[in-house]
Structure 1
Amino acid sequence: MRNKIIIPEGLYGITGENFANGKTNLECVEAMIKGGIKIIQYREKKKSLGQKLEEARVLREVCRKNGVLFIINDNIDIALLVDADGVHVGQDDLPPSEVRKLIGDDKIIGLSTHSPEQGKKAFENPDVDYLGVGPIFPTTTKDTAPVGLEYLDFAVKNLDIPFVAIGGIKEHNIDKIIGHGAKRICLVSDIVGAPNIEEKVKFLRSKLEK
């Protein structure tokens, strides 16, 4: 079932402490929100479950206080414990239909997709609320091979579901992604690694909102 919660257009924020040049995830999230980002995904691969739970609780409250959607990557248990707005899973994680049984009907499920075939299957799955489309370009944040602009073009033309273009997107190539029709775009290292995240986000938003 498609969720009634609206997945906001614009920039989609993802944490990436190892790309943040010494800034904490909390510092990055607070700055992203000040810059105007309306949805944050907590993605943390290297910390213990206990550390992730503690951090997610703090970030969840920051997002709630500011009216920002809060999504947990992979860890459905943590998403439930902190009452996140939803979870984002990959192709090798639990299938969305099983995730739905765990989190209920009022939470968001996002699914990473890397090809037209995966995108079409996800679009036809009523438990998927939005897609990740990518990685568009080579990226250091994921091991998946880049899919190029062809899949993005397919998604724009054929998948009537919210999707986020992701993977290797930077300030220098975001205009190309916008030009191909993406309405929701994620930059990880380019945002969290910026000297001034708030100003970086505002500048990127100005490109999207022209």
Structure 2
Amino acid sequence: MRVAPDLSVYLITDESQCRSRGRDVLATVEAAVNGGVTCVQLRAKGADGGLFLTQVLEVAEVVGDQVPVIVNDRVDVFLAARDQGASVAGVHLGQSDLPAHIARRLVGEDAYLGLSAATPDELRTAQEQGACDHVGIGVVHPTATKADAPKSLGVNGVARMAALTDLPAVAIGGITASDLPALRAGGLAGAAVVSAICTAEDPRSVAADLHRAWDEGGRR
């Protein structure tokens, strides 16, 4: 039986952004987890499967059981990592990836499955199919991280979208620590960040700031 991870401070990696700061993904993840990140999604769009698998295995070994490690898009890499004995928690899918109900059959009932959703119809379908465990909603603010990002919704718009589903919802898109209190107060289960940590001079410090900001939202 799968256990729901803490989605509150959710890091999604971007290797080029990490490299722009002279670090690799592994060093960035390690620092961010030490700072208070609660979940890590490894993303490597267009990467060679073998190289991505190596990265997943390395990160999973360093992170251990501190936080869940999620594989973006690549069900094959997730399955290969588990075959190698890695502690990987699940997969996150986009709307153009494998349908969630098919991915669920492949990854099994003990894997955690996330799905990106940007419209009420996508949220409705995700809930009706019953295959995924949470949804990612966005974007909150305009972002250059994702070239095909939908129109920004703002904090209030994302909160209104989250209210349309019973699934835990994670906000994404240009998020900084200043957004987290309002996102939590608005009913979101977490906030996903990419550039806020991957391009940070000190990922550990930024992760700690994000964690404090999330806690502040719980006191509202």
Same fold (TM over 0.5): yes
Aligned to 2:77: 78
1:110–1:33: structure 2 CA closer, same or farther, 3 Å change rule?
A: same
Q: How many residues align?
A: 207
Q: Is 1:133 aligned to residue 137 of structure 2?
A: yes
Aligned partners of 2:7 and 2:39 also within 8 Å:
no
Q: Which amino acid aligns with 1:207?
A: A
SS in 2 for 1:158: coil
Deviation of the 1:96 alpha carbon = 0.7
Q: Give the counterpart letter for 2:138 in structure 1.
A: G
CA–CA distance in structure 1, aligned partners of residues 112 and 124 of structure 2: 19
Q: Describe the shift of the 1:172–1:38 C-alpha distance in structure 2 as closer, same or farther (beyond 3 A).
A: closer
User: CA offsets per residue over residues 101-148 of structure 1, 9 Å max, x none?
Assistant: 111111011100011111121122211111010122211111222240
What is the TM-score when the length of structure 1 is the normalising length? 0.91
| SS in structure 2 at match of 1:139 | coil
Alignment of 1:161-172 (within 5 A): 161-172=167-178
Which residue of structure 2 aligns with residue 27 of structure 1? 27
- What residue in structure 2 maps to residue 146 of structure 1? 151
Q: For residues 64-90 of structure 1, what are the alpha-carbon distances to aligned partners after superposition, in whole Å with 9 as ceiling and x for unaligned?
A: x24311110011111011122111111
Contact 1:53 1:78 in 2 (8 A): yes
Q: Name the counterpart of 1:69.
A: 68
1:159 aligned to which of 162, 165, 183 = 165
- CA shift at 1:176, angstroms? 4.3
Measured after TM superposition, the shift of residue 152 of structure 1 is 1.5
Q: Give the Cα separation in 1 of the matches to 2:159 and 2:210.
A: 21
Identity of aligned residues (%): 31
Q: Which amino acid counterpart does residue 39 of structure 2 have in structure 1?
A: I
Q: Measure the CA separation in 1 of the matches of 2:164 and 2:134.
A: 14
Gaps of 5+ in 1: none
Residue 117 of structure 2 corresponds to residue 113 of structure 1:
yes
Q: CA deviation at 1:181?
A: 3.2
Change (3 A) 1:54 1:9: closer
User: Of 8, 11, 14, which aligns to 1:13?
Assistant: 11
SS at structure 1 position matched to 2:193: coil
